[in-house]
Amino acid sequence: MAKDSKLILDPLTDNNPITIQVLGICSALAITAELEASIVMSISVLFVMGVGNVVISLMRNIIPSKIRIIAQLIVVATLVIIVDQVLKAYAYELSKTLGAFVGLIITNCIIMGRFEAFALGNGPWRSFLDGIGNALGYAIILIIVGFFRELLGSGTLLGIEILGDPVAKTGLYAYGYENNGFMLLSPMALIVVGIIIWVQRSRNKALIED
Amino acid sequence: MSLKNKLHNIKEKYKGKKMAPAFNALHTFLYLPNETTHGGTHVKAADDLKRTMNIVIIALVPCLIFGIFNAGYQHYLATGAIEASNGFLGGTFWTFDNLIHGAWKVLPLVIVSYGVGLAVEFLFAVIKGHEVEEGYLVTGMLVPLIVPVDIPLWMLAVAVIFGVVIGKEVFGGTGMNILNPALTIRAFLFFAYPTWMSGDKVWVSEAVERAGTADAISGETLLGAYAQNNTLPGVDVWDMFWGLIPGSIGETSKFLIIIGALFLIFTKIGSWRIMLSTVIGALVMGLIFNGVVDAGWISDSSKFYGLMSVPFWQHLIIGSVLFGAVYMATDPVTAAQTNKGKWIYGFLIGFISIMIRVFNPAYPEGVFLAILLMNVFAPTIDHYVIQGNVKKRMKRLKVKTA
């Protein structure tokens, strides 16, 4: 259905949770120094949002509206703990890099925002699509930022040395190239996100607010 | 037909075309434009933005020339080819060898700074269809003066692109920027390539290439040495004042900076309030640290002892506080606008500069960080100064009417 596909496609472009709604910025700045961390974070959020939206949507008629935030928190917390335990079991090194940020998925504004704005008022299938769409919108930005930060900051991608060996001076490093240490610091992540926002809005003038 | 008329004719021909802003920029750099303001009476003054910028550049030229000679002098001094110069006019300083070596190192930096920066400016002007603004003329001159002499050219080019685009163009170009673009460029270099911007190798030309070989030379600045509780041998206070010490290219000669400052104050381009209050701020912080040392609160084994025990007035001549105060803090766009605000703004720049210098031995020069920080706070300072004034007047009004 055309309407359903909009649920997935919109958050990828013109209603992107990071670049348009400017939500979920903290984790986008904190963990994108490496592409691998960005991808794992994206998958975690994808899982939490997809399942969380369905669960909230199924329970939407029995949650009293006065305590709905607590009910939402419990759902997210449960899912995040599952993700955290799985990461610790199968990717221990990575879960150490991500550190508190897996736990902090609970406070990711995108998730609570979609629960409130969408899952509480829509059926499970549409909520599922909405969750997946927004998580993918989040993931696409994380992966773009992670790609540039790791490539320019460490000269690697997913840990593989793309530009040569900085110590042995091979590849680009033989010509005097050096890694940009600023890329590894969080301010540069903010600037990269800013540049993405800039490019997106200058391509689509309708997105520019006053 | 004179060149001036020819240029005017070409301008008419290209009016409305895409390349018009690029041509107009060159045209108005040389001559006043042939168009006049329409209707009504206007304030008549010859000091438009370009003339203002040119005066700052003139004030910077002595620093640049000195920096060129100093680059060569420090190199030959460190390699042992020449004796230490005896004072400002010493025989081994103003030599042809120093000039050649320095020019070979410094002029490429100037060319890259202007070439890349102006290319970005022209590009934005052509895309956005506005006139090229003159803001980069001063920035382009400042940038080579505040970097170490051995910085690789491609790094400078990357930093200039970053500084002009992120520091200025995204905010709307000259006059709209929050941060000083030249300092944004330096901050970018500092955080992106710290090994080329700090440490004990980069400040004397070719010290990096010689490191680890039998010909190794020290490329340390005075601040770097003080931060490690050392001093540099054979450097006295007058050397610091005349500028015969290693450092960023243009900031070493306090003597020429003071002349530049007087020139800027005399032509009413630079704000004497900011310059003076920055110096006062630095002196106050220096005095506080001296007091801490005198009171015996820290021992000489403390890692802060080296810089804290420096006599307070020497803080002005060992680093780049003066250069920052005269050429950077006074940038009319990013500084505070109100007179009272200027005093607060300048004082805090000096105060924080010395604080960063002492407390963070990893970053012995805190001036650029202090100025960037206060750039961010300048609008807030102005806001409270204006609100305070409004309140005072309201009170006076009440007293009168009551």
What DSSP assignment string belongs to B71-139? HHHHHHHHHTSSPPP-STT-TTTS-HHHHHHHHHHHHHHHHHHHHHHHHHHHHHHHHHT-PPPTTHHHH
Q: Which of B213, B240, B269 is the last residue of a domain?
A: B269
Q: Which residue of B has its CA nearest to A153?
A: B192
pLDDT at position B234 = 64
Domain containing B227 equals 8-32+48-269
ipTM score of the complex? Answer: 0.82
B75 and B163 part of one domain: yes
B222 and B111 part of one domain: yes
Say which residues have a Cβ less than 8 Å from residue A24's Cβ, sequence separation at least 6: A17, A18, A108, A109, A110, A138
B312 and B214 part of one domain: no
- Angle value at C-alpha B397, between B395 and B401, nearest 5 degrees: 120
Compute the distance between CA of residue B399 and CA of residue B393 in angstroms, rounded to an integer: 10
B95 and B193 part of one domain: yes
Per-window interface: B 153-172 vs A, CB < 8 A: 154-155, 158, 166, 170
Question: What are the φ and ψ backbone dihedral angles of A159, each rounded to 5 degrees?
Answer: 85, -5
B220 and B289 part of one domain: no
pLDDT at position B213 = 63
Contact B194 A181 (CB under 8 A): yes
Contact B188 A182 (CB under 8 A): yes
Contact B192 A198 (CB under 8 A): no
CB of B96 within 8 Å of a chain A CB? The answer is no
Q: Which of B221, B247, B269 is the last residue of a domain?
A: B269
Give the DSSP per-residue string, A154-210: HSEETTEESS--TTTT-GGGGGT----GGGGSHHHHHHHHHHHHHHHHHH-GGG---
Question: What are the φ and ψ backbone dihedral angles of B314, each rounded to 5 degrees?
Answer: -70, -20
Q: Which residue of B has its CA nearest to A176?
A: B152
Tell me which DSSP letter residue B324 carries: I
Provide the number of structural domains found in chain B.
2
Q: Which of B201, B236, B269 is the last residue of a domain?
A: B269
Say which residues have a Cβ less than 8 Å from residue A75's Cβ, sequence separation at least 6: A52, A55, A56, A115
Q: Which residue of B has its CA nearest to A152?
A: B192
B350 and B362 part of one domain: yes
B309 and B242 part of one domain: no
Q: What is the pLDDT along chain B (402 residues), one digit of tens a residue?
A: 677 777 777 777 777 676 777 777 777 767 766 666 677 666 666 667 777 888 888 899 999 999 998 888 888 888 877 777 777 777 778 888 888 888 888 999 999 999 999 898 888 888 877 777 777 888 889 999 988 888 889 989 999 999 998 888 888 777 788 888 999 999 899 888 888 877 777 777 777 666 666 666 666 677 767 766 666 666 777 888 888 888 888 888 889 999 999 999 998 888 899 999 999 999 999 898 888 888 877 777 777 777 777 888 888 888 788 898 999 888 888 888 899 999 999 999 999 998 888 887 667 678 888 999 999 999 999 999 999 999 999 998 888 776
In a domain, B40, yes or no: no
In 3D, which of A127, A134, A9, A107 has the Cα closest to residue A58? A127
Tell me which DSSP letter residue A66 carries: G
In a domain, B247, yes or no: yes
Would you say B281 and B323 are in contact if contact means Cβ atoms under 8 Å apart? no
